[in-house]
Amino acid sequence: MADGASPTVLNPEVVKSATANKQGYHSFQFGGFEFARDEYFVHIKWPKGKHTMEVDRFLRAMVRDIGWGFFYGWIFFDDVFGTHNHYGTVDIYAGTYDQGCKAAGIDFIQRFTAESVSKAFETISRDWISEGYDPLSAPLETGSPMGSKGKPMQGPLLRNFTPAKRMLGLPGDQPVRSDDTGTPINRAFEDVAFDQPDIEPEPGFEGQLHAINLFDHIARSDVTWNPSMTAITKASICCVTSEEHMLPVIHGNDRNEWFFQLSDEIHWRIQDKNTGNPRGMIVMKAGDVCAMPADIRHQGFSPKRSMLMVMENGSPELPELYATGKLAPYPIEF
Ligand SMILES: [Fe+2]
C-alpha cells in the first residue's frame, strides 16, 4: 500500500470457527486473514499466501501488540507478518516488507480500525493461551504454550497501567512495584546494591519531596520487554523496562527512539525497515546511549535480564515528516 493512498478501512468482527480442532483450539477469520494453531505452530493464510510461525513467538508478539496499543510504527511478529499503526487505524500485513514475498507476488495488506484489531487479537489470544503460560514473562519464568489446550487462563491478559497519584514512595502514591507491594527482586538482580537516596527537604517541605532508587523499582518487574513505569510530559515519553531473552517482536520505527542501557547488555540487530536487509549490529553495555533511526527495524537480544530506559517523542506529526524526508532519519548531524 503506497503511503499517501487512502485505503479502505475495514471494521469486521473476528469470526470464530464453529468447532475446535483436535488439539482443542478454534481457528479465526479476520478480514482476509485466517489464523489457526496446533501444538507447535500458528498458521496464517491470506488470499495468495500462507505462513507458519512458532506459537510462542506469535503469542508473545500478539499480546504485546494489544497491550502497547500497536505502539509506534511497525510491529513485525517475524520477518513476514505484523501490524503498522496509523493511530486510529492499523494495517495488518503479510510479506509487504519482505523482498522475497514481494518478488513472488504473495504480499497482502489490509487496513482496519484499531478497535477491531484489538478485539480480534484479544479473542484469538484468549482462545490459544492456557493456564500456566504468561506471554509477558521471560521464557524461564513461565510455562510453555506448546501442546494441546489446557485449562482456560485466569486473570487479565495484560498488565494494566496504574497511574501514580503522587511521586512514587510518598504516602498515597499508588505504588505499582515499589518495595512495599512485596514484589520480589528478580533473580537476575540479586547482586545489585539498592541504596536508597538521601532526602533532605527544607523545613516545611517534609513529606512533599521524595526520591526513589529506580533500579530497585525496575528490578521488581515481573514482565519483560514491557514498561515497568512510564513518565509522560506532553509528547515526551520515557519508559523503563527489564529485558530478558529476545524482544518478541521486530520493531519498525516511525520516529527516532533513544535507548539508555542502564545495566548489563543488549545486542541489537538493525535492518532496513522496508526490505529487512541488514544495516548493523549494536552491542549496548551499561551506560551506553544510542538513537535508533526512524528508517530501521530492530530486534534486541538480552542474554541476561537487563535494564533499559527508552525515550520517544510522541508528537503525532513526526511519522509524516520522516516518511516524506522533511526530517533526516537520525537526530544529530556530527
Ligand atoms: Fe523501536
pLDDT at 299: 97
Cα–Cα dist 93/271, whole Å:
18
94 CA to centre of ligand 1 in angstroms? 20
216 CA to centre of ligand 1 in angstroms? 25
17 CA to centre of ligand 1 in angstroms? 35
Cα–Cα dist 96/86, whole Å:
16
* DSSP state letter for 152: B
22 CA to centre of ligand 1 in angstroms? 39
253 CA to centre of ligand 1 in angstroms? 5
pTM, two decimals, is 0.92
The residues with which 242 forms a beta bridge, in sequence order, are 307
Residues 6+ apart with CB under 8 A from 202: none
252 CA to centre of ligand 1 in angstroms? 6
Cα–Cα dist 163/289, whole Å:
28
The 3-state secondary structure of 228-273 reads EEEEEECCEEEEEEEEEEECCCEEECCCCEEEEECCCEEEEEEEEC
95 CA to centre of ligand 1 in angstroms? 20
268 CA to centre of ligand 1 in angstroms? 10
pLDDT at 167: 80
74 CA to centre of ligand 1 in angstroms? 9
250 CA to centre of ligand 1 in angstroms? 8
Cα–Cα dist 321/254, whole Å:
10
261 CA to centre of ligand 1 in angstroms? 14
* 319: enclosing H helix or E strand: helix 318-323
292 CA to centre of ligand 1 in angstroms? 7
In the chain the domains, ranked by start, together with CATH numbers, are 9-141 (no CATH), 179-323 (2.60.120.10)
pLDDT at 185: 93
pLDDT at 178: 46
Q: Do 33 and 92 form a contact (C-beta atoms < 8 A)?
A: yes
SS3 304: strand
70 CA to centre of ligand 1 in angstroms? 12
* DSSP state letter for 187: G
Residues 6+ apart with CB under 8 A from 149: 20, 23, 24, 25, 128, 130
Full pLDDT tens readout for the chain, 334 residues = 445 567 899 999 999 999 999 999 999 999 999 999 999 999 999 999 999 999 999 999 999 999 999 999 999 999 999 999 999 999 999 999 999 999 999 999 999 999 999 999 999 999 999 999 999 999 999 999 999 999 998 888 887 777 788 887 788 776 554 445 567 899 999 999 999 999 999 999 988 888 989 998 899 888 999 988 889 999 999 999 999 999 999 999 999 999 999 999 999 999 999 989 999 999 999 999 999 999 999 999 999 999 999 999 999 999 999 999 999 999 988 8
195 CA to centre of ligand 1 in angstroms? 31
67 CA to centre of ligand 1 in angstroms? 16
Cα–Cα dist 306/188, whole Å:
8
Cα–Cα dist 110/61, whole Å:
19
